[in-house]
Structure 1
């Protein structure tokens, strides 16, 4: 007779609502960066250069990869 299988439940540590690995978080960061650039070009590029958005997108991507 087999013993019942038990699963250890560990609390999720990141802020993303799904279980992810580093590749998933990197992909989310890239998609978010593209989205930020499109919004930036539509609304803010007249006043603030696009390289500011690039720096912001890279910083957010690094944060998502490390903490997500």
Structure 2
């Protein structure tokens, strides 16, 4: 009786990890895409609250929106 060959599924996972290095960003914590998106939204809200309290009288809120979106894109893509 011939037995089918034994397949080691863990070996394939180890090879995939060896090929693809772990992504390192500038955030000091380990994050996935959802975490980085959430951090981007929190920064968006914080910048707008700061802007409305201190700078809205002299500078438009649209500037804060542009800065917030640019920061969120940077965090999600490279964080």
TM-score range, shorter chain: 0.7 to 0.9
Alignment match of 2:43 (pick from 29, 32, 43): 32
Q: TM-score, normalised by structure 1?
A: 0.81
Distance 2:22 2:77 in 1: 17
Higher RCO (CA 8 Å, separation ≥ 6 residues): 1
Q: TM-score, normalised by structure 2?
A: 0.70
Distance 1:29 1:11 in 2: 21
**1:23-62 correspondence runs (5 A):** 23-62=34-73
- Give the C-alpha shift of residue 55 in structure 1: 0.7
Please identify runs of 4+ aligned residues in structure 1 that moved more than 4 A: none
Structure 1 unaligned regions, length at least 5: 1-7
> Which of the pair has more CA radius of gyration?
2
